[in-house]
Structure 1
């Protein structure tokens, strides 16, 4: 019975997605996996204490990737804040820069510097 149900799911799903959507979905998942690896190597792992903040970061990243894949970047200028977060939160800035680099490399997209500031702020919350 279970095999039959699974087969029906495959049949129903066939043709629902275009190839480009599958590539975008793969890219999104790959970026999120790489980000989680980067966070983990920096000592940041999801736990009961930081679960809410960690989830907020991952949601932000998911929406960021979706916006980037549809060519919609945040145009808010946070350039003035960048120097502040860089000097006041050096560890969060370093992790944010690594994540920023991963996203640019994997999606082959130039990110705005404002997006890096958003990442650093989310990461700093996790480091507290």
Structure 2
């Protein structure tokens, strides 16, 4: 979709295979560490909700903000506005696929950071 919008002049984004060449506000290792910390925080909050149901429904900093009642370990509510996962099976698949994506994304970031130079090492992909 971004490539189509770029071809019509609506967006100005690079092709998906050139996106890694773009300079970001921080190095890729810094972004990896930030991403790891944020994912870790979210998963710890979810684990706390499984251990102590309802314990993470209120914002830890701004006490006036809270989430509506939800299933244990599944955020739902404002995080599922279109009700895409109404059944327990769909919720479990959504969480599993989300974790798989997070793992694979971390793998590709790690591979990019520590990949060998193909010409010097004789490694082919």
TM-score, normalising length: structure 1: 0.29
| Higher share in helix | 1
Higher relative contact order (CA 8 A, sep 6+): 1
TM-score, normalising length: structure 2: 0.29
Instruction: Determine which structure has more spread, i.e. the larger CA radius of gyration.
Output: 2
